[in-house]
Amino acid sequence: MKYDFSATERKWQARWASENTFASGQDQEKPKYYVLDMFPYPSGSGLHVGHLEGYTATDIVARYKRCRGFNVLHPMGWDAFGLPAEQFAIKTGTHPRLTTEVNVSNFRETLKSMGFSYDWSREINTTDPNYFKWTQWIFLKLYEKGLAYISEVDVNWCEELKVVLANEEVDEKLADGYTVVRRPLRQWVLRITAYAERLLEDLGEVDWPENVKQMQRNWIGRSEGVEIDFELRCHRTNLRVYTTRPDTLFGATYLVISPEHPMAEKLAIAQQLVEVKRYIEQARLKTELERTGLQKEKTGVFTGSYAINPATGEALPVWISDFVLTSYGTGAIMSVPAHDSRDWEFAKKFGLPIREVIKSPHDVEEAVFEGKDSLCVNSSNDEISIDGLDFKTAFDRMATWLESKGKGKRKVNYKLRDWVFSRQRYWGEPIPIKHYDDGTMRPETNLPLTLPEVEAYQPTSTGESPLANIESWLYGEDEHGKFRRETNTMPQWAGSCWYYLRFIDPQNSDELIDPSREKYWMNVDLYIGGAEHAVLHLLYSRFWHKVLYDLGVVSTKEPFQRLFNQGMILGEDNEKMSKSRGNVIPADHVLNSYGADAVRLYEMFLGPLEQVKPWNTNGIEGISRFLNKVWRLVWEEFAETPRVTETKPDDAILKRTHKAIKKVTEDTEQLKFNTAISEMMVLTNELHKAGCYCREAVETVLVMLSPFAPHITEELWQTLGHAESISGAVWPVFDPALAADDVLTIAVQVNGKLRGTFQAPAGCAKEEMIAEAKKVESVVKFLEGQTIVKEIAVPGKLVNFAVKP
Ligand code: ANZ
């Protein structure tokens, strides 16, 4: 019989759907396993082979864990609010809901034809009012706790898109050729900074790739420093700076404040005012990135004012420059040009003094010295000396001295900013707040607050969303008086902040999640997705999770126990797949030609899951041949009945099978799917070579292969007489004695003469054999004082050293 992948795959997909084969059980006695994909944004261009990589990996794990006796939760849904659908609506007038519906149904079809074992009864969509009711509910909890507030913030305003961007989104938009300027706007902001310390600390509790943790740490950017007050001459206030290097205070030769600093104009003396004003206006038009880019030429303007260095008593000129950010520290710095490169460049450009206060290996007029491992010099006055001290001691001594004089205070700072949470958009969750005529605001009591129908989706140039044009929706009256609704909507990140919880209890209309279900299913045991989400989604969702933890809605501190980033699949040309390059391989295309099992296996066989690797359509052919060989384990060509026998496998085959079980089990546990597959290929070949088609061996192959290639194995499983789905089969267990490597005796020769032997496992690599041979006691004396000119290793047999005196 010949294998017809397309009929077989359709048959089993229909059967799984009608029998709800992959519905998670309600049985809370069983151990659970929650394996989750980063759910997709249903774009118009459909899924490509890159998307399928992570989904295949999680599906293998889900199916494997079921065979290991776990109650598995493996859901899928849609992160469907967002810009592309809205931009399409602006262009064509098509309601984003309709666009989304079409895209979702395409995505769902493709995922179903891949045979992914999702529990589709748990499907969620972030744009469904029954879902975003709870997103709005969480927002109101944040509001009640003072974690959501309105603020005039300097936002990143994109003129072409007429929308505010989060800091995290700016780089991407600039790269796309949009212009982004800073502009103050009334915004909803979430106080993520209140959770900075916990977001940092609890990284210790999760099993995530170290680079992702490090990116989060950098993003949060904790630093320990001192705020120092510099007395201003001719002003009654102080200028407060933030520094992480109080040990360099004696070397501070000028001060710099940001253009937006409240004192900026006030400090400008009459002769400098025009120039200062012009500079401030120019800075407004630059983005943060343009201002702080390291290679950017430093610019600045002198205010004409001076402030007193509390350590030296000198009057330091106060400058304004845009490399100092308003939103960090105090928006003012003390400049130590000898030991900070930005300060050094600035000092060189404007002819400001450079003073060495950390012993430097070279002249600080020639180059900056930023090292922290040297000692302080030129740093004493009548009250304090830190000369000869190292960084840490000097830091402490100086901080204590400043504190005792009331001139400074130790301070921990974070780079993390509060999260600008509103968008001037239609296609998002409405922020459920009512603004009353008397200036007060109140939460919407009736959730969900849904979106009204609108005619035009273009945001208004005043910065308000198109919702501001829908008067019937906008205005209302209740027992508190007349109100106008908030017209801002939430950013795209909102819905994905908590979706993993809703999968656990998707239909609950009374609560966000039932506590006993939450306790049973959380945490997510394995979360697989792209590395591009290292800071945005993964930080925002951790933040919301902690808020929900504080509210008692969830019982775990962290949402995602283990995180794994799959490596990107590049186009056949080794470039990132993108529409503009025209190198995208649509999933449907390969699916139709080769079938789901081949695509799944091929995706996993391309290389280690975490590695970036190019697609190569030719490689699928080999996979199809392998599947054919698996088919032949049961069906001989032209035969009418299966060839499987009820005999026991002989010792050699038994041993071989158990070794394969061990290898495939261990590799699958570690997500090393490429090597697991190659082991199954070898085993299949060996069974054919030995002419062994006994049930025990063949069924072992089928069960082990079932998570990877579920359709063909399901079909053969049925052929072998099983009424139940192979997805419920018990994973084979290896006998350690049978699976153990054979130990062989290896001869060691020196110049062709036998000088000793040692034991090595079969399959021991050549390098290891050589290394072992050199340690054999009886051999050592023949190598001593000799030069080895050649090393030869014959696997499983011998090592020979050719030596010369
Ligand atoms: C004096 C000094 C001497 C500094 C020296 C550094 C080296 P992190 O570690 O990132 O927290 N700084 C402070 N506020 C700033 C702002 N709003 N914009 C730009 N730079 C600012 O960096 C803290 C250091 O960055 C501070 O320590 C300050 O420069 C600068 F040899 O003060 B330092």
| Main-chain phi, psi angles of 635, to 5 degrees | -115, 115
Provide the residue count of the chain: 805
Answer yes or no: are the C-beta atoms of 671 and 650 closer than 8 Å.
no
Task: Give the confidence band of 292 by pLDDT, cuts at 50, 70, 90.
Answer: low
* Strand residue runs (E) in 697-752: 743-750
Q: What is the Cα–Cα distance from 502 to 272, expressed in whole angstroms?
A: 59
Mean pLDDT of 351-365: 97
**What domain count does the chain have?**
2
Instruction: Decide whether any atom of ligand 1 lies within 6 Å of the 220 Cβ.
Output: no
Question: Does the residue 511 lie in any domain?
Answer: no
pLDDT of residue 672: 98
Share of the chain above pLDDT 70, in %: 98
Q: What is the Cα–Cα distance from 199 to 215, expressed in whole angstroms?
A: 12
Does residue 174 carry a pLDDT above 70?
Answer: yes
CA of residue 236 to ligand 1 center, whole Å = 25
Q: What is the Cα–Cα distance from 420 to 94, expressed in whole angstroms?
A: 29
- Boundaries of domain holding 761: 741-804
pLDDT of residue 168: 65
Per-residue HEC secondary structure of 622-655 comes to HHHHHHHHHHHHHCCCCCCCCCCECCCCCHHHHH
Q: Locate tokens 């262009």: which residue?
A: 91
Token couple for 185: 């706007």
Instruction: Decide whether any atom of ligand 1 lies within 6 Å of the 245 Cβ.
Output: yes
Convert 396-410 to b/e letters by CB count within 10 Å (16 or more is b).
ebbbebbeeeebbee
Question: Of 461 and 401, which is predicted with more confidence?
Answer: 401
CA of residue 421 to ligand 1 center, whole Å = 28
pLDDT of residue 160: 85
Q: Cis (ω within 30 of 0) for the bond into 459? A: no
pLDDT of residue 450: 97
Task: Give the confidence band of 616 by pLDDT, cuts at 50, 70, 90.
Answer: confident
Task: Give the confidence band of 135 by pLDDT, cuts at 50, 70, 90.
Answer: very high
pLDDT of residue 359: 97
Q: Give me the DSSP letters along 568-626.
A: PEEPTTSSB--TTTT---BHHHHHHHH-HHHHHHHHHHSS-TTS-EE--TTHHHHHHHH
Answer yes or no: are the C-beta atoms of 187 and 541 closer than 8 Å.
no
Last residue of a domain, one of 414, 439, 471: 414
| Main-chain phi, psi angles of 425, to 5 degrees | -135, 155
Q: What is the Cα–Cα distance from 129 to 107, expressed in whole angstroms?
A: 21
Question: Does the residue 217 lie in any domain?
Answer: no
Question: Does the residue 461 lie in any domain?
Answer: no
Ligand 1 atom 5, closest CA: 340
Q: Locate tokens 């049961």: which residue?
A: 634
Question: Of 143 and 760, which is predicted with more confidence?
Answer: 143
Instruction: Decide whether any atom of ligand 1 lies within 6 Å of the 40 Cβ.
Output: no
What CATH number should be reported for the domain holding residue 797?
A: 3.10.20.590
ipTM of the complex: 0.96
Task: Give the confidence band of 294 by pLDDT, cuts at 50, 70, 90.
Answer: low
- DSSP for residue 142: H
Task: Give the confidence band of 578 by pLDDT, cuts at 50, 70, 90.
Answer: confident
Does residue 618 carry a pLDDT above 90?
Answer: no
Question: Does the residue 535 lie in any domain?
Answer: no
pLDDT 10s digits, 82-109: 888 888 888 899 999 999 999 999 999 9
Pocket test for ligand 1, best of 242, 291, 292, 326 (most atoms within 8 A of CB): 242
Token couple for 200: 């940092």
Question: Quick one: which of 711, 683, 690 has its CA closest to 3?
Answer: 711
Question: Does the residue 376 lie in any domain?
Answer: yes
Question: Does the residue 516 lie in any domain?
Answer: no
Instruction: Decide whether any atom of ligand 1 lies within 6 Å of the 106 Cβ.
Output: no
Instruction: Decide whether any atom of ligand 1 lies within 6 Å of the 533 Cβ.
Output: no
Last residue of a domain, one of 360, 389, 414: 414
Q: In what order do the strands lie in the sheet with 475-478?
A: 441-443, 433-436, 481-485, 475-478
What CATH number should be reported for the domain holding residue 405?
A: 3.90.740.10
236, burial (CB in 10 Å: exposed 0-12, middle 13-18, buried 19+): exposed
**781 marked as part of a ligand binding site:** no
Does residue 601 carry a pLDDT above 90?
Answer: yes
Last residue of a domain, one of 360, 385, 414: 414
pLDDT 10s digits, 252-287: 999 999 999 999 999 999 999 999 999 999 887 776
Q: What is the Cα–Cα distance from 103 to 244, expressed in whole angstroms?
A: 51
Question: Quick one: which of 491, 612, 452 has its CA closest to 167?
Answer: 491
Statement: the pTM of the whole predicted model exceeds 0.95: no
Question: Does the residue 391 lie in any domain?
Answer: yes
Q: Locate tokens 């007349």: which residue?
A: 482
Instruction: Decide whether any atom of ligand 1 lies within 6 Å of the 374 Cβ.
Output: no
The SS3 call for residue 158 is strand
pLDDT 10s digits, 719-772: 999 999 999 999 999 999 888 877 888 999 999 999 999 998 877 889 999 999
Does residue 244 carry a pLDDT above 90?
Answer: yes
Helix (H) or strand (E) holding 542: helix 536-550
Task: Give the confidence band of 631 by pLDDT, cuts at 50, 70, 90.
Answer: very high
Q: What is the Cα–Cα distance from 321 to 166, expressed in whole angstroms?
A: 24
Does residue 293 carry a pLDDT above 70?
Answer: no
Instruction: Decide whether any atom of ligand 1 lies within 6 Å of the 127 Cβ.
Output: no
pLDDT of residue 413: 95
Question: Does the residue 275 lie in any domain?
Answer: yes
pLDDT of residue 336: 98
Pocket test for ligand 1, best of 244, 247, 286, 324 (most atoms within 8 A of CB): 244
Does residue 165 carry a pLDDT above 80?
Answer: no
Question: Of 354 and 179, which is predicted with more confidence?
Answer: 354
Q: What is the Cα–Cα distance from 263 to 239, expressed in whole angstroms?
A: 9
Q: What is the mean pLDDT of the chain?
A: 94
Pocket test for ligand 1, best of 226, 228, 240, 243 (most atoms within 8 A of CB): 243
